[in-house]
Every structure is written in structure tokens, then in C-alpha cells.
Copies of this chain bind each other. A is one copy, B any other.
Amino acid sequence: MGTPFEDMAEIDRLVHEPSRLAITSALLSCESADFLFLQRITGLSKGNLSSHLSKLEKGGIVTVTKSTGGRPRTTIGLTPMGRDTVAQHWERLTRLRDAAREWTAPGE
């Protein structure tokens, strides 16, 4: 690991994207949530939420399971790896902010 500033280059853009950061952060504190609930708290349209979830699923961050029988119902949860990834992401961001707080330009 380099400085927090350099580290931003390695940031996971899959998670960093604002809507997905909201989704994954919401999922951090619960086992799972259903589609409509996520839609409500993020304010995203069905279409965009769906496409964000597909990307997160493809990236191994979340699992998306659809109920069979009755009205369709989709439940979303973080994978163990996803949980790690999101946690690490927040760590990096926090380190960056803290570094910015403490730091003054060298050579000045």
C-alpha cells in the first residue's frame, strides 16, 4: 500500500459509483433486502437498480435470488467477499480523508 492518495488509483469503481455505494452500504447492515426496498431507499428507477445489481452480481459483490411461485420477488444480499470489498473501500476512503486532514504540503 502506498499513500492514501496513490491508493485511490486502486479503488474499486464497481463499488465506488454513487448508486452502488448506497446499495452496498445499505446491505452492509442487514442480511438481505428485497428489490423494492432497495429501490425505495435509493430512489433509483427499476431499470437502473436492476442494471446496477447485475453489475454487482457479475462482480461477485452481491447475490441476487428470485423467488419461484407467486409474485416475483427478488432478494439481494452481499457475498462474504462483497462484504470485505465494501468494508475495505470505506477504509480507503476514510484513510484518504484522514490523510487530507492531517497533512500539510511538504517543502512549503
A-to-B contact residues, CB < 8 Å: 2-6, 8-9, 11, 13, 16, 18-19, 21-22, 25-26, 28-31, 33, 37, 41-44, 90, 93-94, 96-97, 99-105, 107-108
Contacts and interface: CB of A to CB of B under 8 A. Distances in A.
- Name the prevailing secondary structure of the A interface residues: helix
A33 to B, nearest CB: 6
Nearest to A21: B8
Nearest to A86: B100
Nearest to A19: B8
Contact of A9 (B9, B42, B93): B42
B102 A43 contact: no
Given A5-B41, A9-B19, 16 more contacts: A5-B22, A5-B26, A5-B42, A5-B43, A8-B19, A11-B18, A25-B96, A25-B99, A29-B100, A29-B101, A29-B102, A29-B104, A29-B105, A30-B103, A93-B93, A94-B97
